Structures are given as structure tokens and as C-alpha cells.
Amino acid sequence: MRIPRMRFPTFGPTLYGLALVMVVLGVATPFLPIIVKVQLINFLLFVGLAYALNFMTGLTGYVSFGHAIFMGIGAYALGGGIDRLGFPPLLGVILGAGLGAAFAVGIGLVTLRFRGVYFAITTLVLFLAAKNIVPEISQLGGGVGIFMNLGFQPLAEFYTIWTIVVLEIGLTYWVTHGRLGYGLRAIKSDEDAAKTVGVNASRLKLTVFGISGMFAGATGAVYAWTLSAVLPDTGFDITYSLRMLAMIIIGGAGTLLGPFLGAIIVYVPYNYFQTVQSLLGLQLAVIGALVLLIALFIPTGIVGTIRRHVPILRRYIE
Amino acid sequence: MADLGLVVADLVVGLMLGCVFAVIAHGLNVIWGVTKVVNVAHGEFIMLGAYGAYYLNVYLGFNPVLSVPVDAAIGIGVGFLFYFGLLHRELRGKEAITRESEMVTLVATFGLSLVISNAALAIFKGDAVGIRWAPETLDLGPFDVALGGLYVAISSVAIIAISDLFLSRTYLGNAIRAYSQDIGAAQLMGINPARIAAIATAIGFALTMAGGALLTVWLPVGITPLIGATYAPISFVIVVLGGPGKMWGSLLGGLTLGILIDVLPAFGISASIAVAVAFLVLIPVLLFAREGILR
């Protein structure tokens, strides 16, 4: 039997709200002071990463500890594209997205057979292996990295990451409200049962893992663009894996608004603590404590908990 | 072809390193095998064990092997705290751990690892410290063996052997194994599941912190608050290789990793590729021997 397509005459307040925020950001940014522009770029990088992981961990429940591997692939794609092939940065970002998706599908074909903690450990191990192997490849700059001398292009960077985030929000909405969403929710609650009723679990998982890798790759490429360099340490930075996971867990995994909220909550201390010397090392500790408490007491995150306990808001927040 | 003497020397070092890997993964193995919970913060407790040994050395002059029992005693306390603070809410009253609980504990311990490692960074500072303990070397003709490493390897194997004997020969050990096989049936036999899970977690933490103490011999100037991030993935791979809950599996997995990391460079493969290969062994094992190599 074919599952009927869900009908949605309106898009719902959450999507309109997010669209409004993105339009305001898109229109206002050229007129803002340079320091605010830089902060907005960094903030949107966090948002982009949060939505990227949300496709995989949020929608299927498969926890990935190594998602920064796709950031690294995107970053090296940009670096290689600019340094070796003479690409303009935008083409480098597209290459990053393509390679991110390709690697995600390749990795997913093998690792998506593993469930639960085994998948989580495998992603972590793959990340560490890549971090060890890439500095050994002399074509990719070896242990030194690639320096691109792109100069400072805040507006181009901003609109690239802005476009990525807009695409992610739209695609998240489309995936969660379509046929794909039914299957993914079924996989998340019980994969074996989902298979029994005819959900092609492996294909669905591979699809969202590919989307997830594509966006993480694109975001990683923009991150490298803002640094104007790809170094082994900034390309493959485990703390970004950890932040991605923290953002969607805090905000609410698998929701439309959650990753955005989580990105705000993780980005503000990250940005503020960097300016206060005594708090420098504590930002990840604070975020960790938040993750610990949320996992134990409200495992569905902020958005999921609001939806569960305040039925009136269920229509407005998703 | 690589020089044979070099390979043998590397093999010996690799075997000794593998024993240390085995003992630091052993605590994770016990907790994972019995409660089915993967403690992502495992590396951070290894780190705390290493700092425990370091401060015992600074203030009381203990060498790493001597500080093992002290660290283990602290670990028992930490383990009970961990169980009743974190795991009890998820495990209590369940006959089998659900996938949901598995994910909750995975994420919660992930948060805990961020808290501990960054708090430790604030308290201990980022400077690497180490214990000066260099017993003599044993001259074996073509190469020397550091006695410190040898003592540690012997302690590691002894710890694993004792834990195996404990689980197979004592009443409490049998109760723990019964719990790990079938919680419902264990309860029918008059076993209090919460008590057994708490004791097993405490034993696991004692082993983990003791492992951290033994690890310091291999880090003469390298104990930092961030070593957890290095040794936690190694421990995960070792436990999957051997199979969670199999005591000798830790040793098998540890030796595999130790040998790969130390012997591959003798064949002209760079050290960091050797580490990557050792990590990637996980994937064929998961594909073809799901329950671990050991049957």
C-alpha cells in the first residue's frame, strides 16, 4: 500500500518564523558593522552544522560522534580546489558539498549496518583515522596544511552560509513533512518493526546520511574559507563534532526549530567566553553539563519537551 | 624487508603496550558487558586515575604500580557515585536495557566527559606532567627491555586474570554474570539487580582508574587533562574487538592494537598511519565477527 502524502495547506508558524529571521538577517547584514558580520557568519556556521547533523542523528536516532569528518572533507575540498585547481571559493564550497555527500554515502554503505552504540563508536573511529591519515598525504599539504590567501570576504562568506542554512531549513521541513518523514520516524522508534511494515530502512538512512554529509561538507568548506586556510587541526576538529551533537540535543533532536535554538545556546557562551580570560576553558564544560542534564531529565530537548507538556504550543512549535 | 631484530624489539614493546591498553579498556569492558551501558566518559576516568597516581607520587612518593590499589579504592567510590547518580534512573526496574536508555546513557556520559575533561583543564592546567620512575632495564642481548613496562604488563595480566577468576569462581561474580545474561531470571534467583549493577559499575571504575595509574609508566612526560580523548577510542575498539563482557577479550584486543601500533612502523609505515590502521580494524570485526573475535 502506498502511504498517502500528508497534506499541508499552510507551512506552519515555525517555518514562517525561521524564514522571517533568515530574511531579516539576509537583508540587514550588509548594513551592519564588520564585527557583527563576522559574528553572524560564525553563528550561521554553527546553525549550518546543527541542521546538518540533525538530518542524521535527529531524524534517525543514530548518534554520530565523528561528523566533523565531513567538515574536514569539505574544508580540504575547498583548499584543494582553490590551491590545485584554481577554483573560485564558491565552486570550492560546492565541491565540498559534493565530496561530503559522496564520502557520506560511501561510509554509510558500510557503517549504517551497525546500530546504536556500535554506529557511534564507528563514526568516532573513522574520524580519528581520517585525522591521522590526512596529514600524511603530501598532496593535501601534509602536516602543514593549505594556505589560500583569499583575503577577507565577509559578504560572500555570509551569503554562502546563509544560502546553506536556508536550504537546510527548507529541506528539513520537506523531509519531516513528507513520505520520507514517516519512514524515518518509524526507523527512529523501532527499526525492525519499520522494516517489517515495508520501510526500506537502509535506503532511507543512506539518503539522510548523504544529505547530512553534504551539508556538513559545505559548512566545513565555508569554515575553512573564513579561516582562509585548511590546517589538519582546524580541518578535523573533534570539538566541532561534540558541539554539533550538543546543539541538537539541547534544542531538540529531529525538530525543525531545535537545531536553531541549540545553535544559539551553544554559540553565545562560545563567543562570550572567548573574550573573558578566566572562562576560556569552561565553555565546553558548561555545554557538557547542559547536555548531561538534558539527556537525563528531558531527553527530547527543549522543543520536544515544550511540545510534550504544553499542548497549546504544539501547533506553533515543531 | 625489515630488520628482524628491530621487528622483534618492536614486538616486545608492542606486547607490553598492548597489556597496558588491555588494562585501561578492562573497566569499560566490565561495565559494558554487565550493564550494557557504554561509558563515553571512560577516557576521562583513565585521566583521573593517571592524575591520582601522579599526585600520590608527588606527595607520598608512590610509584605507579604501588598507587594501583589506592586508585582502585577511589574508583570504587567514584563507580558507586556514577551508578546512583547517572545509571540507576535508567536501569532501575528494567529487565533489559532499551535502545532508548542506551542512547540516553550514551549522550549523558558524553556530556559528562565534556564536563570532566574541561573542568580538569581548568584545575590541573594544560601543562603535561609525568612521574619519574625508571627502574633498570633488562639486557636481552640484541635489545633491552624496560623493567617498568614489564612490571606494568605483568600487573595488567594479573588484574585481568584476577577479574576472570572473580567472575567465574565467587558467588558475587556468578551473580554479576547471571545479571549480565538475564536480569529477569537473576531476580527470580534472589539477586538484587540494582545492587549487582552498582557493584559491577564500581568494579569497572576501580579497574579503569587502576588502569590510568599503570598507564602513567608509558607517559613519562605526557599526563594532560586531554589524554582521555586519546585513550577512550582505543578502549572502545579494544572492547569491541574482544567482545563486551569477555574478560580475556580485553587482553586480546589490547595486544592486537599494541602490536599493530608498534610493529607496523618497523615495516616503513608511518606511526600515525599505523594508529589509523589499528583503529580501522574495528570495521571488519564489526562486519564479520559481531560478537568479538573471542568465541
Ranges of each domain in chain A: 14-315
Q: What is the pLDDT of residues A8-36, one digit of tens each?
A: 446 788 888 899 999 999 999 889 888 88
Residues in chain B closer than 8 A to A249 (CB atoms)? 107
Of B89, B102, B111, the CB nearest to A116: B102
Nearest CA in chain A to B234: A125
* Shortest distance, CA B166 to any CA of chain A (angstroms): 28
**Over B91-151, what HEC string results?**
HCCCCCCCHHHHHHHHHHHHHHHHHHHHHHHHHHCCCCECCCCCCCEEECCCCEEEHHHHH
Task: Select from B256, B260, B216 the least CA-distant residue to B238.
Answer: B256
A229-230 and B137-139 beta bridge pairing: unpaired
Cα A262 from Cα A243, distance rounded (Å): 10
Other Cβ atoms closer than 10 A to A117: 22
Q: Over the stretch B272-289, which tens digit does the pLDDT of each residue have?
A: 899 999 999 999 988 888
Q: How far is CA B188 from the centre of its chain?
A: 32
Q: Are the Cβ atoms of B112 and A249 closer than 8 angstroms?
A: no
Residue B111 and residue A291: Cβ atoms within 8 Å?
A: yes
User: Is A65 in Cβ contact with B115 (below 8 Å)?
Assistant: no
User: Are A110 and B287 in contact (CB < 8 Å)?
Assistant: yes
Interface test with A, best of B81, B118, B123, B241 (most A CBs within 10 A): B118
Are residues B282 and A293, on separate chains, in Cβ contact within 8 Å?
Answer: no
Minimal CA separation from A132 to chain B, in Å? 5
Judge contact between A261 and A308, C-beta under 8 A. Answer: no
pTM equals 0.91
The interface pTM score, or ipTM, of the predicted complex is: 0.90
Collapsing DSSP to helix, strand or coil, A200 comes out as coil
Q: At what angle do helices A154-177 and A13-28 cross, to 10 degrees?
A: 170
| Chain A residue at shortest CA distance from B235 | A121
| Chain B interface, Cβ < 8 Å to A | 38, 40, 86, 89, 99-100, 102-104, 106-108, 110-115, 117-119, 121-122, 229, 233, 236-237, 240, 270, 272-273, 275-276, 279-280, 282-283, 286-287
What is the spatial distance between Cα A222 and Cα A100, in angstroms, rounded to a whole number? 13
Nearest CB neighbour to A249, from listed B89, B107, B286: B107
Q: What residues of chain B lie within 8 A of the CB of A133, using their CB?
A: 272-273, 276
Q: Which amino acid is at B63?
A: N
* Angle, alpha carbons A65-A67-A69 (nearest 5°): 120
Q: Where are the alpha helices (DSSP H) in chain B?
A: 4-35, 42-60, 67-82, 88-91, 99-124, 147-169, 171-181, 183-188, 193-215, 227-242, 247-263, 271-280, 282-288
What whole-number distance in Å separates Cα of residue A234 and Cα of residue B60? 41
Residue among B81, B82, B279, B288 with most chain A CBs within 10 A, to mutate? B279
**Separation of alpha carbons B40 and A71, rounded Å:** 22
- Domain ranges for chain B: 4-288
- CATH class of segment(s) B4-288: mainly alpha
pLDDT tens, N- to C-terminus, chain A (318 residues): 566 665 544 678 888 889 999 999 999 988 988 888 999 999 999 999 999 999 999 999 899 999 999 999 999 999 989 888 888 889 999 999 999 999 999 999 999 988 888 999 999 999 999 999 988 888 887 778 888 877 788 889 999 999 999 999 999 999 988 888 888 988 988 888 988 988 888 999 999 999 999 999 999 999 999 988 888 888 888 889 989 999 999 998 889 999 999 999 999 887 777 676 666 667 888 889 999 999 888 888 888 888 888 888 887 788
State whether residue A44 sits within 8 Å of chain B by CB.
no
Check whether domain A14-315 has CATH 2.60.40, yes or no: no
Percent of chain B having pLDDT more than 90? 46
**How many other CB atoms are found less than 10 A from the CB of residue A143?**
13
Average pLDDT, chain B: 88
